[in-house]
Amino acid sequence: MHNHGLGSWMAKRRLKTPDKTALVFGEGDSLTYRELADRVDRTAALLAARGIGKGDSVAYLGENSPAFLQTLFACAQLGAVFVPLNTRLAPPEITHMLIDSGTRALIHDAEFADRVADGVEAARIPHVLLTGPGAAGIPGLDELAEAAPAGHLDAKITLDDPMAIVYTSGTTGKPKGAVLSHGNLTWCALNCIVDYDLTSDDVALMISPLFHVASLGMGAMPVIMKGATMVLEKGFEAGRALELIERHGVTMLAGVPTTYQLLADHPSWASTDVSSLQKLTCGGSAVPTRILNAYEDRGLRFSQGYGMTETSPGATALAADMTRVKQGSVGLPHFFTEVRIADENGDMVPRGTVGEVEVSGPNVFLGYHGLPEATATAFTDDGWFRSGDLGYLDADGYLYIADRLKDMIISGGENIYPAEVENLINDIEGVSGVAVIGVPDERWGEVPWAVVTVRDDAEVTTEHVRAQLDGVLARYKLPKNVVVVEELPRTASGKVRKADLRARFGRR
């Protein structure tokens, strides 16, 4: 086999575990690894017939479904680059990503047709396909792939070749495409298998969107590599998730603190049999003590971790048996990953000293698509990725995150970069200055607030700002509150002191 990347995985699974259930979805539908591999082969043939080959970008916009994985692994077979798009993005955001990635084929759920229309035209995308059976007389991926020839296509691919472009919001206000290689995703999967003890008998409930790199890199990829079973859900609803845990004997569940809080708060929580659960992983932010207590009361414990899109995404993991011993820590570096702490001059600092978190390993991305200067800035001279986060290592080597150098807000597991929101608010009539900060929220962990100064006689309200941004930004990025102040606190160089604003408006 010439393909040494993800494109060989389905053929190997079909050979090793053909009759094992790979996916469970919908109301009892399922696919074995043989059936999923056959679908992937036909999808690859379908794309190849449209001229898609090595290096071509194929974008995907849709909810969790077999079609997502079919498309991803079909791209892997051809050496094409998979571009997963967040279904919560607004049309202008989608348009930017389609143009920036050079998308040559777009596969999307029919319900997102209006949202991609401008982008398809602006990016001049020659091939647009619908998932599922199609709509309005237009055949969909299911029908087209079924008619495509069978047989495994075997492009010459190495672990260093690009596999995906995953967009992450940037401090300059424009989302940047992080290029992940076949090797990045392979080593991330191996990290998860080693550090979370995945087995082929595991049943993973996938309630987080696969377009998120955490669900993709630390959920779908290790499960498929190991030949376990994945229960795919289009979205998250606490009652249904509890029902599926009991029905399928789910052993693995991943989410953010909000996910676990909603499960524990649901009326069915106490009566649901959750005894099958063995591996609970949580990211995005630290798990609050009240949630730890609720799960420990049911005999369940969390593994927590830290990472980012650029590390595919896992960098560290805190084992479940250390959750209380090292409460507040995000754990030790993953097995095939290294972490160190540097000062502002790039020199290593002693244990216990706060500095910038730097990451190295085969899971660290190739760079930002089409942005050589941003890529160069992201790495040290000796090749370590500069995370932009501040933290320290304790005496035992456990990492603690002290603050976010880049001021990123994590709301319900979604990353929000203030600069992107600030750039748009600055254009609103009457606004003379703005700073977007994260403020604690019991349900979402934190939510964005906009602190603004206004010109004389101008009236700027929360409702007005949200209305101006609605349809331009994803709704989770819209400020939940707009506060008008006389002036923004600034440093001598004129930079807004966001730490002062967070202290003033209640950030813990």
45-97 confidence digits (pLDDT tens): 999 999 999 999 999 999 999 999 999 999 999 999 999 999 999 999 999 99
In a domain, 131, yes or no: yes
> How far apart are the C-alpha atoms of 187 and 336, rounded to whole Å?
7
Residues 6+ apart with CB under 8 A from 417: 169, 170, 171, 173, 406, 407, 408, 409
Q: What is the pLDDT of residue 455?
A: 87
Structure tokens at 140: 């969909």
In a domain, 100, yes or no: yes
For residue 495, pLDDT beyond 80: no
In a domain, 391, yes or no: no
Residues 6+ apart with CB under 8 A from 325: none
> How far apart are the C-alpha atoms of 363 and 190, rounded to whole Å?
10
* Banded pLDDT at 197 (limits 50, 70, 90): very high
Which runs of consecutive H residues, i.e. helices, occur in 25-131?
33-49, 66-78, 91-101, 113-123
Compute the average pLDDT of residues 482-498. 83
> How does pLDDT run across 298-343, given as a tens digit for each residue?
999 999 999 999 999 999 999 999 999 999 899 999 999 999 999 9
* Banded pLDDT at 287 (limits 50, 70, 90): confident
In a domain, 293, yes or no: no
Range of the domain at 494: 409-504
Higher-scoring residue by pLDDT: 106, 284 = 106
> How far apart are the C-alpha atoms of 1 and 3, rounded to whole Å?
6
For residue 259, pLDDT beyond 80: yes
> How far apart are the C-alpha atoms of 436 and 419, rounded to whole Å?
8
**What does DSSP assign to residue 272?**
S
* Banded pLDDT at 407 (limits 50, 70, 90): confident
- How many structural domains is the chain composed of? 2
In a domain, 461, yes or no: yes
Compute the average pLDDT of residues 252-273. 94
In a domain, 173, yes or no: no
Compute the average pLDDT of residues 358-383. 97
Most confident listed range (51-65, 128-142, 407-421): 51-65
| Exposure string over 12-46, b if 16+ CB within 10 A, otherwise e | ebbeebeeebbbbbeeeebbbbbbbbbbbbbbbbb
Compute the average pLDDT of residues 403-420. 83
CB 251 within 8 A of CB 204: yes
Burial of 305 (0-12, 13-18, 19+ CB in 10 A): buried
Q: What is the pLDDT of residue 351?
A: 97
For residue 199, pLDDT beyond 80: yes
> How far apart are the C-alpha atoms of 134 and 113, rounded to whole Å?
12
* Banded pLDDT at 482 (limits 50, 70, 90): very high
> How does pLDDT run across 428-466, given as a tens digit for each residue?
999 988 999 999 998 899 999 999 999 888 899 999 999
For residue 479, pLDDT beyond 70: yes
In a domain, 396, yes or no: no
Q: What is the pLDDT of residue 508?
A: 45
Higher-scoring residue by pLDDT: 376, 402 = 376
Burial of 340 (0-12, 13-18, 19+ CB in 10 A): middle
Compute the average pLDDT of residues 283-307. 90
- The side-by-side arrangement of strands in the sheet containing 355-360 is 338-342, 355-360, 385-393, 399-404
Give CA torsion, residues 94, 95, 101, 103, to 10 deg: 100
For 215, half-sphere exposure in the C-beta direction (CA atoms, 13 angstrom radius) is 24
For residue 507, pLDDT beyond 60: no
Strand-strand pairing, 481-484 and 138-139? unpaired
Residue type, 297: D
Structure tokens at 380: 């040290």
Boundary residue ending a domain (127, 157, 187) = 157
Boundary residue ending a domain (157, 178, 206) = 157
Q: Which of 115, 106, 67 is nearest to 87 (CA)?
A: 115
What rounded mean pLDDT belongs to the chain? 94
CB 461 within 8 A of CB 413: no
Boundary residue ending a domain (110, 142, 157) = 157
In a domain, 448, yes or no: yes
Strand (E) positions, 66-123?
Answer: 81-84, 103-108
Which runs of consecutive H residues, i.e. helices, occur in 158-256?
182-195, 213-215, 221-226, 238-248
For residue 123, pLDDT beyond 90: yes
- Domain containing 50 — which CATH number? 3.40.50.12780
> How big is the chain by its Cα radius of gyration, in Å?
23
> How far apart are the C-alpha atoms of 461 and 311, rounded to whole Å?
39
> How far apart are the C-alpha atoms of 132 and 143, rounded to whole Å?
8
| Exposure string over 263-298, b if 16+ CB within 10 A, otherwise e | bbebeebeebebeebbbbbbbbbbbeeebbebbeee
Residue whose token pair is 């456990």: 398
Q: Which of 235, 192, 191 is nearest to 212 (CA)?
A: 235
Task: Give the length of the chain.
Answer: 508
- Number of Cβ within 10 Å of residue 234's Cβ equals 16
Compute the average pLDDT of residues 116-131. 97
- Domain containing 429 — which CATH number? 3.30.300.30
- Number of Cβ within 10 Å of residue 258's Cβ equals 20
CB 413 within 8 A of CB 284: yes
